[in-house]
Amino acid sequence: QVQLQESGGGLVQAGGSLRLSCVTSARSLSNYAMGWFRQAPGKEREFVASITGSRGGITYSDSIEGRYRISRDNAKNTVYLQMNSLKPEDTAVYYCAARLNYCSGGQCRSVREYPYWGQGTQVTVSS
């Protein structure tokens, strides 16, 4: 079992930045695929970014337009999502997710491939 806890969400003006954190109970992040997903009002939960494997292979959704960066600190068992140039359409609940072992291809992007989830952190971007 892996426990995840997100933090760092809040209210920010358009053009601003936030850094989300996901603290995990995983013994080693290298043994997991870690993903960020988001769910906006009236929309399905969508993939944002993932980081996986011993070398931290990264996958991003095209929808973020290069504005986000995922990273991890293995010593702190923490995954981060740096969000820059935020837009109102980025408003959503952001979720951290984990999958034992690495992910590849569509596996990294699929909600159903991640058995462990945090409770989410709200990001609201005002116009």
Spatial contact of 68 and 76, defined as CB atoms under 8 Å apart? no
Radius of gyration for the chain, computed over Cα atoms and rounded to the nearest angstrom: 13
Which residues, in sequence order, are bridge partners of residue 85?
none
- Per-residue model confidence as pLDDT tens for the chain (127 residues): 899 999 999 999 999 999 999 999 998 999 999 999 999 999 999 999 999 988 999 999 998 889 999 999 999 999 999 999 999 999 999 999 999 999 998 999 999 999 999 999 999 999 9
Region of residue 59 (left: phi > 0; alpha: psi -120 to 50; beta: else): beta
Spatial contact of 58 and 109, defined as CB atoms under 8 Å apart? no
* DSSP H stretches of helix in the chain: none
